[in-house]
Amino acid sequence: MDNLRTYAFIDRLQPQLAGVVAASAPGFLPVGGESALVVEVQPGILINQAIDLALKASPVRLGKSFVERYFGYMQIHSASQEDVRYAGGAVLKGLGFSEDQKVRPSVISAQIIQKITPHHAQMMNVYRNGSLLLPGTDLFTLECEPAAYIFLAANEVEKQGNITLVDCNEIGAAGRLSVSGTPSEITQAKKAAISALNAV
């Protein structure tokens, strides 16, 4: 059965998140300030039809697409919010979905680690796709499902304060986010992330 797992419009990509996408995107690289849309569907192969519908409907650019074991994912972006919204509407119409059919995100885990140790930081830096995690800073980690909603959470966290985006992985069974900062910044980051997911 076809399933719209994630449909999340990003009004304005934040610069760190745009950088993380650019570091791992095989397609057209987004920049901060652009609008974006992330879509996750099941079965995974259905994402190819979604991409076709979006790119033929509007002059958006495909930043990333992926088909994993069960789900398909795409991220499109443009300087024009109208173009992104129109492309998204074409995807919904073409696949026979309405936006209210999307799965609502749920938080699997939300943790704060205070004053992370040097060896822990070094291990996390091996696998990160964002900025370096520095020892002594506080770390906030978030895990949610469906995975692609972590993209929305990461963008809202970056809007709220001066945090460092360490890692954001929006593909797979669950999405994972890691950000670092001062104790007050990390407390605010946790509130922003959970609020963003609850507001979907």
Q: What is the C-alpha to C-alpha distance for residues 185 and 63, in angstroms, rounded to an integer?
A: 29
Residue boundaries of the structural domains of the chain: 3-101, 106-198
Q: Does domain 106-198 have CATH number 3.40.50.300?
A: no
Residue 32 has pLDDT above 90, yes or no: yes
Q: Report the side by side order of strands in the sheet with 35-42.
A: 3-10, 35-42, 72-78, 61-67
Q: Does domain 3-101 have CATH number 3.30.70.1710?
A: yes
Can you read off the two tokens belonging to residue 13?
């990509």
As a whole number, the mean pLDDT across the chain is 96
52: helix, strand or coil: helix
Q: What is the C-alpha to C-alpha distance for residues 190 and 196, in angstroms, rounded to an integer?
A: 10
Taking residues 52-57, report their average pLDDT: 98
Fold match between domain 3-101 and domain 106-198: yes
pLDDT of residue 25: 78
Q: Where are the beta strands (DSSP E) in the chain?
A: 3-10, 35-42, 61-67, 72-78, 106-113, 138-145, 164-169, 175-181
Residue 161 has pLDDT above 90, yes or no: no
Task: Note the pLDDT tens digit of each residue in 122-145.
Answer: 999 998 999 999 999 999 999 999
Can you read off the two tokens belonging to residue 180?
């670092």
pLDDT of residue 160: 87
pLDDT of residue 26: 82
Is this structure's pTM higher than 0.85? yes
pLDDT of residue 23: 85
Task: Note the pLDDT tens digit of each residue in 80-116.
Answer: 999 999 999 999 999 999 999 999 999 999 999 999 9
pLDDT of residue 27: 80
Residue 16 has pLDDT above 90, yes or no: yes
Share of the chain above pLDDT 70, in %: 100
